[in-house]
Amino acid sequence: MSPRPYILAETNWKHIREEKFQVVILPWGATEAHNYHLPYSTDVMQCDYIAAESARKAWEKGAKIVVLPTVPFGVNTGQMNVPLDINMNPSTQFYVLKDIIQGLSNHKIPKFVILNGHGGNDFSQMIRELQVIFPGVFLSTMNWYMAIDQMKYFNEPGDHAGEMETSVMMHIAPDLTLPLSEAGDGAEKKFRIEALRSGRAWAQRDWEQITRDTGVGNPAASSAEKGQVFLEAVTDYISSFILDLDKADIKDLYE
């Protein structure tokens, strides 16, 4: 396999020293159970694929972008009793980000994107604080699963290991995806309190109480074909964002 010049883990100093990168992408996933049929690395593998494919499309159109290795641990404080679900607290994430951005600031790379692939992660408040510390680096974040309207591609996308995630994994990692006949139905118990149930108020869900199989969303209608079409649209959109960011003057972002 030839090294991809926009993937840091695959490239080398001979290439890196000649490039003037404008945008760094940090994919951030999680390690957790995904129903019975998807691997614990689902969020990591999805972020790996989407970051790399989006970067490829942007690179081929001239963007100076580099993708960092995916962070494999996310916030799983609602799943502490699920065996081998690994939790990284938000306060820990903050310091990991701070150290990474410090290095990029020293290297004069001006734009930084966290590509988030896990619903328990939330980087917006961290960016508010870190932007003050590192004013010379433009910081942003995107949840890849919110990049486009899932309802245009799936009957019932689901929240966790449902039709969307299962379809994506059937396309990018079919050998690690068990047959749908082995998946649970992803049935979810919801809050009794109306404000929490409707989303007007928020509280962390206790995963052991809300789901039997660790899934939230029915994967029964999933297919690799749906996953392929959806991923093409997602990576088109994200690559467009990368191109816009690559060309942007961070001192002149508003009109």
Q: What is the mean pLDDT of residues 239-244?
A: 98
252 within a domain of the structure (yes/no):
no
Would you say the pTM of this structure is higher than 0.75? yes
User: Model confidence over 112-159: pLDDT tens digits?
Assistant: 999 999 999 999 999 999 999 999 999 999 999 999 999 999 999 999
Give the CATH number of the domain where residue 146 resides: 3.40.50.10310
Q: Residue 8 pLDDT > 90, yes or no?
A: yes
Q: Token digits for 59?
A: 């690179």
Total domains in the fold of the chain = 1
* Start-to-end C-alpha separation, the chain: 44
21 within a domain of the structure (yes/no):
yes
255 within a domain of the structure (yes/no):
no
pLDDT of residue 34: 98
Burial class (CB in 10 A: 0-12, 13-18, 19+), 213: middle
30 within a domain of the structure (yes/no):
yes
pLDDT of residue 73: 98
List, as one string, the DSSP characters of 104-144.
HHHTT--EEEEEE--TT---HHHHHHHHHH-TTSEEEEEEG
3 within a domain of the structure (yes/no):
no
Q: What is the mean pLDDT of residues 93-105?
A: 95
Give CA separation, 234 vs 5, 114, 124, in Å. Answer: 22, 16, 21
Give me the chain's average pLDDT, please: 96
Give CA separation, 161 vs 89, 126, 219, 244, in Å. Answer: 22, 27, 7, 32
Residue-number span of the structural domain to which 128 is assigned: 8-247
1 within a domain of the structure (yes/no):
no
